[in-house]
Amino acid sequence: MIAVVQRVSKSSVTVDGSTVGTIGHGLNVLLGVADGDKSTDADYLAGKIPFLRIFEDDKGKMNRSLLDMGGQMLVISQFTLMGDCRKGRRPSFIKAAGQPLAKKLYDYFIDQVRKLGIDVRTGRFGAMMEVNIVNDGPVTLLVHSR
């Protein structure tokens, strides 16, 4: 699994003109699932992302995690993170997980993060979405489970 983690001042996702998920200060997580990923991959990401010390403390240093500051998380499925652009001009998505596995691990990741007490909002799995992100910093990290 791969996650693009962005520290945001606000973020929202819209499907067919209706907002389905919105957060204030927190993390926007674009989540991609690879063929062969397992629940242990989701466990790794759920055990890593909320604890990343990427929020500023009272001295302006990145010393606080999402849990420390009580922020929200917006999780959006994005199979295109598995796109391989090394050959030709059209990305290959052969390494992306099929919909049943991807949906199962996407939901599992969200459940694991919610168990930590984090307010998690989501996009709509498999839908065409419009994502609005106000990146704070900017702070953007790639987190791989492997």
3-state secondary structure of 46: helix
Residue 64 is encoded by which pair of tokens? 């606080």
Our answer to whether residue 40 is catalytic in this structure is no
Residue 50 burial (10 A CB sphere; 0-12, 13-18, 19+)? buried
Residue in 19, 40, 51, 80 annotated catalytic: 80
Amino acid at 114: R
Our answer to whether residue 22 is catalytic in this structure is no
Residue in 79, 109, 112, 122 annotated catalytic: 79
Residue in 6, 14, 72, 78 annotated catalytic: 78
Our answer to whether residue 78 is catalytic in this structure is yes
> Which of these, 35, 30, 71, 79, lies nearest to 54 by C-alpha position?
71
Residues marked active site are found at 78-80
